[in-house]
Amino acid sequence: GAVVSQHPSWVICKSGTSVKIECRSLDFQATTMFWYRQFPKQSLMLMATSNEGSKATYEQGVEKDKFLINHASLTLSTLTVTSAHPEDSSFYICSARALGQETQYFGPGTRLLVL
């Protein structure tokens, strides 16, 4: 149980284009989903928290107009990197948490490379 998927696992795009990453909870309802970014040899950095049906809460320093988050259902959240630039290249990981629970379950991650 508690499986979270992400799609795509790998994406390469040109500078200036937008990229959408999907995060799905496959066997439970995720009232809260989180988006993280991880740089090599570093720990996870929380970008934003989203509750189903509500606007996402972004961490300080994260541009909400650049990283658009939608959490329209209890099993799906999307992260759209708009007008991507090479500095947005990173490993993006989502996690999901069920109502009343504390444990976050993570997806396998999406590697983004912006050329």
Partner 1 sequence: EDQVTQSPEALRLQEGESSSLNCSYTVSGLRGLFWYRQDPGKGPEFLFTLYSAGEEKEKERLKATLTKKESFLHITAPKPEDSATYLCAVLNAGNNRKLIWGLGTSLGVNP
Helices (H) and strands (E) in the chain, counts: 0, 11
Subset of 17-46 contacting partner 1 (CB under 8 A): 42-44, 46
Cβ closer to partner 1: 82 or 89?
Answer: 89
Among the residue ranges 14-22, 60-68, 72-80, 88-96, the one whose residues contact partner 1 (CB under 8 A): 88-96
Place of tokens 């990981």: 93
Q: Which of 16, 63, 108, 113 is close enough to bind partner 1 by CB under 8 A?
A: 108
Contact 21, 92 (CB under 8 A): yes
| Torsion sign (Cα): 20, 25, 26, 30 | negative
| Contact residues: partner 1, CB under 8 A | 2, 4, 6, 42-44, 46, 49, 91, 93, 95, 102-109, 111
